Structures are given as C-alpha cells and as structure tokens.
Structure 1
Amino acid sequence: MPEMHFKIRWPDSSESLCYSPSLVIKDYFQLGRSYALDDFVGRSREALNIASERVRHKYGYACSGALDQLAQIEADAMRFWEEQTPTVTVIEFIE
C-alpha cells in the first residue's frame, strides 16, 4: 500500500507531520486549504478509518499507525476547541 505523510498547521502556527497508510487523505484534504477545526477532525477521522480498513482488507488486521495518528490529531485538537473559529491548514503532502 502506498503510505504517505501530510503536514498540517494548527491554529497556534505549530506544525505536525501526520501519517496515513493510504493516499485516501488526498480525497479528503486539499493542499493549502484551511479547515474549521471540527471539520478537519471529522475528515481526519473518516479518512484514517478508511485507510485502516484498507490495511485490514489487504493484510487481515487494522492499521495501528492510522488509529494512533487519529488519536494524536484528536488529542492535539483539544487544545483549540475553546478558540473562536480555529482552523487547521494542510501545508504539504509527502509521498
């Protein structure tokens, strides 16, 4: 499976390098686009669950890397829920 990384910028301008075991991320995010925090987390949840299921279909087990990445995104997003209109920007796809 073609895995990839994607780099994001959080509302405080910090950056994170995220992992996906599938290119499905590109179906959910556009390079350079900013997403409302709740939309970003929801898209991440859907895309990374699909990626994990693709691994399960091919290898017979879920991808712990995708599920760990989703947990990290959700934990990091918690820092910004109280902000007014927080956004996350997708700044790079790395294949």
Structure 2
Amino acid sequence: MPEMRFHIRWPDGRSESCYSPSLVIKDYFVPGERYALVDFLERSRTALSIASARVAARYGHPCSLALGQLARIEAAGRLFLETPDACVAVEAFDE
C-alpha cells in the first residue's frame, strides 16, 4: 500500500510530521489549507480510520501505526479545545 506523511502546524506554531498507510489523507486535506481544530480532528479520525481499515482488508489486521498517529493527534488536539479560533494548518504531503 502506498504510505505517506502529511505535515501539520498546530495552533501554538509547533509543526508535526504525521503518518498514514494510505493516500486517503489526500481526500480529506489540502496542503496550504487551515482547518478549524474540531474539523481537523474529525477529518483526521475519518481518514486515519479508513486508512487502517484498508490495511485490515488487505493484511487481516488494522494498522497500529495509523491508530497510534490518530491517538497522538487526538491528544495534541485536546490541548487546544479551549483556544478560541484554534486552527491546524496542513503544510505539505510527502509520498
């Protein structure tokens, strides 16, 4: 399966490189766009869950790396839930 990395910038300016085992991320994010925090979290949940399910369909087990990445995104996102107008920027894709 084609895997990729997508690079994001959190509301505090910290950048992070995130992993997906599938290119499905491209269906949910556009490089250069900023997403409201809640929208970003929902899109991440959906895209990484689909990516993990694709691995499960092919190999018989979900992708622990995708689920781990989602857990890290969820944990980091919780830090900004009370920040007014918090946005996450999707900066780039690496395939």
Q: Partners in 1 of 2:19 and 2:41 — Cα distance?
A: 14
Residue number in structure 2 paired with 1:64: 64
What value does the CA root-mean-square deviation take over the aligned residues? 0.4
Unpaired segments ≥5 residues, structure 1: none
Using the aligned pairs only, state the percent identity: 59
Residue number in structure 1 paired with 2:54: 54
Say which SS state the counterpart of residue 7 (structure 1) adopts.
strand
Residue number in structure 1 paired with 2:73: 73
Alignment of 1:14-93 (within 5 A): 14-93=14-93
Say which SS state the counterpart of residue 19 (structure 2) adopts.
strand
Matching residue's letter, 2:47: A
Say which SS state the counterpart of residue 80 (structure 1) adopts.
coil
Per-residue CA deviation, residues 22-75 of structure 1 (Å, 9 max, x unaligned), is 000000001100000000000000000000000000000000000000000000
Residue number in structure 2 paired with 1:10: 10
TM-score, scaled to structure 2? 0.99
Q: Runs ≥4 in structure 1, deviation > 4 angstroms?
A: none
- Matched pairs, number: 95
Say which SS state the counterpart of residue 69 (structure 1) adopts.
helix
